[in-house]
Structure 1
Amino acid sequence: MEQKIKKYRKKPIVIEAYQTDKEMIIHTLEGDMKASVGDYIITGLRGEKYPCKPDIFEKSYELVEDPIEE
């Protein structure tokens, strides 16, 4: 039986993040990850933190000017 591939869109959620000005080790759910200067440190839905390279962050996220409290 051939499986039909469907397309999915990631649900729009508001995250918190900041851009780091120093190298650091972030303790993630997948283990320790190194964050470089300029990387974004994202706080996920369950409070977990993880680093994200600036080019990926800018393609994936946009600034929320007037966030709605959830």
Structure 2
Amino acid sequence: MAKYRKKAVEIEALKWTGISQGALDNLRKFIGDETYKERCLIYPTSESLKIRTPSSEVVAQVGDYIVRGIEDEYYPCRSDIFEKTYEEVSDN
């Protein structure tokens, strides 16, 4: 059986911290106003965020990361999985 390794790719991500004006401003800045209007639904009672992806709708919970994929799609990733998979890179 062949083995495969994930290609090294840098992604952009934002940690969802729940509903606050600062968090919503950061989300809109990260994904853009039009994308926010078209793809995001906020659930105030649970502080979760529903994101429409090309194939489905997914829900981000507080603490999840919102990831911008390689084809400009957005999806949530649980923080424990994100932190095992990615490491922060410097801008230098």
What TM-score do you get using the length of structure 1 for normalisation? Answer: 0.83
1:42 is matched by which residue type in structure 2? V
Kindly indicate whether residue 81 of structure 2 is the aligned counterpart of residue 56 of structure 1.
yes
**Could you say which structure has the larger radius of gyration?**
1
Percent identity of paired positions between Structure 1 and Structure 2:
48
Q: Name the count of aligned residue pairs.
A: 63
Written as runs of structure 1 = structure 2, the 5 A alignment for 1:1-70 is 5-22=1-18, 23-66=48-91
Structure 1 unaligned segments of length 5 or more: list them: none
Post-superposition CA distance 1:7-59 (Å, at most 9, x none):
11010001000001121001113300110001000000110000000000001
Q: Which has the higher helix share?
A: 2
What TM-score do you get using the length of structure 2 for normalisation? Answer: 0.65
Q: Which has the higher strand share?
A: 1
Structure 2 unaligned segments of length 5 or more: list them: 19-47
